[in-house]
Structure 1
Amino acid sequence: MTGLVFDRWRRIILAGAVLLPGMPPAFAQIPAPVAVPAPHDRLLPLQGGRNFRDLGGYRTADGRSVKWGLLFRSGSMHGLTDSDYRNLEARGIRVVCDFRDRKERASEPVAWPASAAPRVLSDDYDTDMHFMPPGDPKGWTEAQARASMAAAYPRLLRQFNSQYRRMFGELLAGHAPLAFNCSAGKDRTGVAAALLLTALGVPRATVIEDYLLTNRYLDPASLRSRDAAPSPANLLAGVSPQVAKVMIAADPSYIAAAFRVIDAHEGGAEGYLRDELGLSHADLAKLRDLYLTRA
């Protein structure tokens, strides 16, 4: 196959994710962006979505952009409607990395229709809630809550390291479109998005802007509030409205606490991605080739 013809087929496959008989099998794992009507809406138009948004369109330091329709971040998908499932099926989501613990998944199950069911990856674990302020939640102050939330983010890097590694493994294998979520789509998901966008070469300021979009797109009313102990799925329980607002918010100090750990690592962010997440220089180049575009 001549270079010109080879390139022509490559462009056809990238445009439509089509693998025709006799074509090189290496292209089978190349994800193609799903067509999204312009202008792109970062928040997906879902009736029961919670902070469900597309990471496409962000510019990288080398002048490329994240492809639309391949990388999604979200809160719990428990409220998705039949119409929502059809919407997501049309987007071709193949894998969902659900970072919620076993109790969260049991209390807010997701019933994907068999025809549209992606492969859902999750772990059975109990969330470490020791970052929460001591004492009766009714007595927590806003300052205590803010400090506790910031302290939680370095813990997230450690506790979810294996799940973040698995997410990157799926992406390196070309298993996209891929979505990842927790309950609110802010903390565990926020750290995952920050790691992913950083790996793709998106500037830090833009990564933080994406993190802060939760303040625009997360409806606090969608989070449960019961007379029970606070948990990742139930942050509002037993606390004052002022403290609840602090805990639900995407505060720059929270994500900054995670970035301090990353930046302090030998070699900075690239060293952290290499040593803690197993992403070599070649892996980073592959991720960028798969999920970035110059268009």
Structure 2
Amino acid sequence: MKNSRAFRGAIAASAVVLVGVIPALAGPAAAGPALSGPAAPVLQSPGKADRPMGLAHAPNARDIGGYPAKGASLLATGVVYRSDALAKLDDGEQQKLVSLNITQVIDFRSPTETGRDPDKLPASIRRTEQPVYDPANDFYVMVSRLIQGGPAAQQAALGDGKAAQIMRDYYGWFVSNPSARAQFAQAFKDIASAQGAVLYHCTAGKDRTGWMTAILMSALDVPKGQIYHDFLDSNDNLAAGNKALLDGLVAQGLVTDRALWEPILGVQRDFLDAAFDQVQASYGSFDRFLSDGLGVDNATLDALRAKMLTKH
């Protein structure tokens, strides 16, 4: 399982090191089952949610506000943002972050990821590194070797449902690993106490960033269907970049079966299920996960609610 964790982290961290492109890790074919059927939550209108930030060089950047929460409340807009990597922002995009009153950026990427593609931020924005990764494994080198290994190696590693299982294991690891929990916990506390708006991100803004968003929304009593709605939006936001990524790999002969990569490059409902299932297995409830797993006390939770909840 350790090797499996290393590989899944490698893919998420830097899947296209050989083509020199930041991975736009999402794809429409990987969207997974639709939110329908007897077991699926009923979606309410997200209102002003899904507000894109309009950053051409960070297409998965968006405001998490606007979703309904318990007690006739909404998540406030202009307070917390989620994104993919900010390594390619131009000057105008950097100034847009300033105009949105973003005062802190939280980076969940590994040292390998940040070293290869450091964020481009205005001097007025404080950046904090809270890396969610396994330091015992060199993800960057591992993914390079897999791609260089060619289609046969990729089939062995990703075929027969292995890719989706890698991702489900990855999301469970977010909850079960003490180091990962510590980083998410610190981000939670920073968001609750920050002066000004906060943006958090990883490389593609879909896995580590997706789970952080699910933590925040769950703590604020956003309906489960809305949490999944926001989570799955990454597929649409990154579809164009993801297609270009695979086109490049196929053109170079590095990939022949695009479908092998789709579970890795996208998000699926069952990935987030795996994290919530691990919460239940390890802690019995989300409230216990907050208090015992993340060390979030009532004062911090109250501060988050005061900051992020607004009445209709």
TM-score normalized by structure 2?
A: 0.71
Task: Work out which of the residue numbers 128, 144, 162 in structure 2 matches 1:144.
Answer: 162
More helix by share: 2
- Structure 1 residues 209 and 272 mapped into 2: Cα distance closer, same or farther (>3 Å)? same
Structure 2 counterpart of 1:80: 89
Query: Aligned letter for 2:300?
Result: D
Deviation string, structure 1 residues 31-59 (Cα, Å, up to 9, x no partner): xxxxxxx9676111112113101101011
- Partners of 2:132 and 2:208 within 8 A in 1: no
| 8 A contact 1:47–1:81 mirrored in 2 | no
Q: Does 1:221 align with 2:241?
A: yes
Pair 1:53 & 2:62 matched: yes
Greater mean deviation of Cα atoms: 167-176 or 184-193: 167-176
Matched, 1:293 2:302: no
Give the equivalent residue in structure 2 for 1:62.
Answer: 71
Structure having greater relative contact order (Cα 8 Å, sep ≥ 6): 2
Partners of 2:256 and 2:165 in 1: CA distance = 15
What is the rounded CA distance, in whole Å, between the counterparts of 1:226 and 1:251 in structure 2? 22
* Partner Cα distance (2:48, 2:276) in 1: 31
The answer on 1:169 being equivalent to 2:189 is yes
Matched, 1:257 2:274: yes
Deviation by residue 1:209-264 (Cα, 9 ceiling, x = unmatched): 11011111124526867999xxxxxxxx7573112222111100000000001223
How many residues end up aligned between the 2 structures? 246
Alpha-carbon contact 1:99-1:182 (below 8 Å) kept: yes
User: Structure 1 40/188 Cα, relative in aligned 2: closer, same or farther at 3 Å?
Assistant: closer
After TM superposition, the structure 1 stretch with the greater mean CA deviation from structure 2, 119-128 or 280-289, is 119-128
Partner of 1:121: 129
Give 1:86-105 correspondences, 5 Å limit: 86-105=95-114
TM-score (norm 1): 0.75
What does residue 214 of structure 2 align with? 194
CA contact (8 A) 2:83 2:200 kept: yes
Q: How big is the shift at 1:119?
A: 3.1
Q: Does 1:240 align with 2:257?
A: yes
Question: Judging changes above 3 Å, is the alpha-carbon distance between structure 1 residues 176 and 121 closer, same or farther for their aligned structure 2 residues?
Answer: farther
Residue 284 of structure 1, CA deviation:
2.0
Q: What is the deviation of 1:149?
A: 0.8
Contact 1:164-1:277 at 8 Å conserved across structures? yes
- Unmatched 5+ stretches in structure 2: 1-46, 147-151
Q: Aligned partners of 1:67 and 1:147: how far apart in 2? A: 35
Equivalent residue letter for 1:199: A
* Amino acid in structure 2 at the alignment position of 1:164: F
Structure whose CA Rg is larger: 1
Would the alpha carbon gap of residues 268 and 89 (structure 1) be closer, same or farther in structure 2, given more than 3 Å must change? same
Q: Does structure 2 conserve the Cα–Cα contact (< 8 Å) formed by 1:142 and 1:242?
A: no
**Matched residue SS, 2:106:** strand
Identity %: 26
Measured in 1, the distance between the counterparts of 2:95 and 2:204 equals: 22
**Using a 3 Å threshold, how does the CA distance of structure 1 residues 113 and 95 change in structure 2: closer, same or farther?**
closer
Give, as a single letter, the amino acid of the residue that structure 2 aligns with 1:52.
Answer: A
> Cα RMSD between the aligned structures?
2.8
Structure 2 distance, partners of 1:89, 1:194, is 26
Matched residue, 2:225 = 205
Note the residue ranges of structure 1 that are not aligned, 5 or more in a row. Answer: 1-37, 229-236
